[in-house]
Amino acid sequence: MAKPKLALIPATQGSKLYSVLPADGVGDFNFSRNTVATRINKDGLIETVAVGKSRLNYPLIDGVVNGCPSHLLEPSRTNLITYSNNFDGTNMINSAIITEFNTTETLSPEGINNASKLTANSAFQRYSFFPTAGDNVDVSCSVFAKKGSASIFSTLIIDKSGQPISTKFDLLNGVIVEGGGSIEDYGNGWYKCSFSGSTSSGATALQIRPFSHGSGFENGWTGSNYIYGFGASLEQGSYATSYIPTSGSTVTRSAETANGAGDASTFNDSEGVLMAEISALTNSGGKWISLSNGSTSQRISFANENGNIRVYIFNGVVIWDYIYYNINTITSNKISLKYKSGDYSLFINGFKINTSTSSLVASGIDSLQFNSGGGSGNFEGNTKQIQYFDTALNDSDLETITSWTSFTDMANGQTYSIK
Amino acid sequence: MANEIYDSTWWGNTIDTASSIGTSTDMIQGQFNMNDRQEVEAVKCLADTIHKIGLQNI
């Protein structure tokens, strides 16, 4: 098999996404993010990453780091909770809960003593936050919680009509027992509890009910029952993103971009293969990876688009536009797009999905972008690797580079827990 | 001893996978150059993936 001309293997953080090939660094991507952000580091802990520095995010399986990191690229998001880690602060109401800040009884998901112990004081316990969100918007909530003597934990978004969107989490078994959302194991007993919803008339309150024992979402625990809490977020958006700490005001994590890898000598207009191992953050929108001339006028590209994988090759006219529907883009997929006059093909996870015999090709290709080719359609998701070959590989090679090498490799790559 | 080097040092990883890369010296050089531009954090991941790519290239 030919050797890749460009290879991006996530292994370091910095002002670029650093490509190991070409060896001279011309394959590095220019990276941009104007704010700090957080990641899961190699020890499985939440860690702040400096302004302008790319993120290596490590996968957690059953609460421990398992496998190699991804480059994480996320859209801009704002945490509307003004004191994300203060469960008894300004702009909120504590009802009947004793809050012990910086408890020494457990380390937080950051690995330090900055979590809170939340102890029931009397009936109807809840924390009510009052974030400012617009009307008719999608909102997503996430809170980190750890079982104490109690283990059932609820969150509710109550909109202006008083209609709650709610989810109940079981911190003992790591499952959702009522409502929709996700519960992710962050290790040491901590779970990131997330859920999303659309409010017809705008969210007015986020409630955290740490002791929702029994039916429904009302409290049931009394006495001295307790759990641990850390890091609350409410974002305007259809899914929760990485933790955005706040301390007195809302905080925005700006959008991340990574573009401009390679030059005209890196890429072959006539033939080649673009391979990526990627996963999406959501099943909506188009999140592109492209070979282009710096604009969308000449592009060889594919995307996670609305839960599907779309191929789009264009040189002034559409050369190939194809959508593959039968796939889950939230899990990691290995995708290869071969281009050559009369010989186009798409391989995904070891299978030839479709072909085109178009005789047209794009021209003037001089860069690899995490967008649709010219600055829009930014890729948002996790990238495990990118390879570019300047020759058209045969089917056997395309099958090889898009296949998992073992069951364990596949399971870990898709962050499945092997039981 | 080799495994200890492989697991713990940048040089060890690169050297340990060098044989699989064969004559593709730029795959070795690329790792060193990348580390010069920005210190590599996921040392073993980088070396292991280069190792896989190297095996495909034989």
Length of chain A: 419
Q: Is the pLDDT of residue B5 over 50?
A: no
Point out the least confidently predicted range of A3-12, A25-34, A220-229, A369-378: A220-229
B-interface mutation test, from A5, A20, A336, A404, most B Cβ less than 10 A away: A20
Structural domain includes residue A419: no
Give the nearest partner residue to A9 out of B33, B39, B49, using CB atoms.
Answer: B49
Contact assignment for A11 to B40 by CB distance below 8 Å? yes
* Range with lowest mean pLDDT among A216-225, A297-306, A402-411: A216-225
**CB-CB under 8 Å, B49 with A68:** yes
B9 pLDDT more than 80: no
- Is the Cβ of B39 closer than 8 Å to some Cβ of chain A? yes
* CA-based nearest distance A59→chain B, Å: 13
Same domain, A261 and A385: yes
User: Average pLDDT of A317-335?
Assistant: 95
Are B45 and A18 a contacting pair at CB < 8 A? no
Residue-level pLDDT at A19: 97
Mean pLDDT of the region A326-332: 92
Final residue in a domain of this structure, among A253, A270, A293: A253
Question: Using a CB-CB distance cutoff of 8 angstroms, which residues of chain B are in contact with residue A1?
Answer: 56-57
Touching check for B56 and chain A: CB below 8 Å?
A: yes
DSSP code of residue A294: S
Nearest 5°: CA angle at A322, between A316 and A328? 135
Contact: A405, B57; criterion CB under 8 Å: no
Q: For the residues A387-399, what does the mean pLDDT come to?
A: 97
Residue A216 lies in a domain: yes
**Would you call B46 an interface residue with chain A, using a CB distance cutoff of 8 Å?**
yes
Determine the pLDDT at residue A363: 97
Q: Name, of A150-154, A301-305, B16-20, B37-41, the range with top average pLDDT.
A: A301-305
- Are A168 and A217 spatial neighbours (Cβ–Cβ below 8 Å)? yes
Q: Which residue of B has its CA nearest to A25?
A: B34
The predicted-structure confidence for A211-237, as pLDDT tens digits, reads as follows 665 555 555 556 678 889 999 999 999
Residue owning tokens 């004191």: A83
Q: Domain check: are A142 and A240 in the same one? A: yes
Q: Testing the interface with B: which of A1, A21, A42 to mutate, by most B Cβ within 10 A? A: A21
Distance from CA of A387 to the nearest CA of B (A): 10
Same domain, A166 and A247: yes
Closest CA to A145 of A122, A127, A160, A133: A127
| Chain centre distance of CA A45 | 16
CA trace torsion A219, A221, A222, A228 (10° rounding): -100
> Do the chains contact at B45 and A9, CB–CB below 8 Å?
yes
Same domain? A45 vs A143: no
In a domain, A159, yes or no: yes
- Does position A395 have pLDDT exceeding 80, yes or no? yes
Residue A1 belongs to a domain = no
Residue B6 pLDDT exceeds 70:
no
B10 contacts chain A (CB < 8 A):
no
pLDDT tier for residue B16 given thresholds of 50, 70 and 90: low
Q: Name chain B contacts of A28, Cβ cutoff 8 Å.
A: 37
Same domain for A242 and A96 = yes
The answer to whether residues A42 and A97 belong to one domain is no
Chain A nearest-CA residue for B24: A3
Whether A371 and A236 map to the same domain: the answer is no
**CA separation for the pair A329, A248 (Å, rounded):** 37
Give the C-alpha separation, A81 to A63, whole Å.
26
In a domain, A219, yes or no: yes
Q: How far apart are CA A109 and CA A118, in angstroms?
A: 16
Residues of chain A contacting B30 with CB distance shorter than 8 Å: 7, 20-23
Q: What is the CATH number of the domain that holds A196?
A: 2.60.120.430
Are A70 and A85 part of one and the same domain? Answer: no
A322 and A212 assigned to the same domain = no
Task: Tell me, yes or no, whether A15 lies in a domain.
Answer: yes
* Strands of the A116-120 sheet, one edge to the other: A97-100, A116-120, A226-236, A137-146, A190-199, A182-187
Judged by CB atoms closer than 8 Å, whether chains meet at A11 and B57 is answered as: no
Confidence of residue A303 (pLDDT cuts 50, 70, 90): very high
Pick the residue with more confidence: B31 or A390? A390
In this complex, the residue of A4, A12, A13 whose CB is nearest that of residue B34 is A12
Enclosing domain of residue A362: 6-74+257-413
Question: Nearest CA of chain B to the CA of A18: how many Å?
Answer: 7
CB contact under 8 A, B57 and A3: yes
Cβ-based contacts of B56 with chain A (< 8 Å): 1, 397, 400-401
Shared-domain flag, residues A192 and A315: no
With an 8 Å Cβ cutoff, is B55 touching chain A?
Answer: no
ipTM above 0.90, yes or no: no
The CATH number assigned to the domain holding A344 equals 2.60.120.200
**Nearest by Cα to A293 from A375, A360, A373, A388:** A373
Q: Which of A29-33, A177-181, A415-419: highest mean pLDDT?
A: A29-33
Any domain includes A358: yes
Domain closes at, from A223, A253, A283: A253
Q: Does B4 touch chain A (CB under 8 A)?
A: no
User: Please, are residues A219 and A124 in contact by the beta-carbon 8 Å criterion?
Assistant: yes
B49 touches chain A (CB under 8 A): yes
**Burial of residue A73, with CB atoms counted within 10 A of its CB: 0-12 exposed, 13-18 middle, 19 or more buried:** buried
A264 with A208, same domain: the answer is no
Q: Is the pLDDT of residue B11 over 70?
A: no
According to DSSP, residue A33 is labeled -
For residue A20, list chain B residues with Cβ-Cβ distance below 8 A.
27, 30-31, 34, 46, 50
Q: Which of the four pLDDT bands, split at 50, 70 and 90, describes residue A280?
A: very high
Interface test with B, best of A1, A6, A8, A12 (most B CBs within 10 A): A12
Given A253, A281, A297, which residue is the final one in a domain? A253
For A63, A131, A166, A244, A253, the CA distances from A141, given in Å and listed in that order, are 20, 11, 10, 12, 16
**Model pLDDT, residue A348:** 97
Domain count, chain A: 2
pLDDT band at B4 (very low <50, low <70, confident <90, very high): very low
∠ CA A8-A12-A15, rounded to 5°: 90
Q: How far is A33 from chain B (nearest CA, A)?
A: 18
Same domain, A97 and A201: yes
High-pLDDT (> 70) share of chain A, %: 94
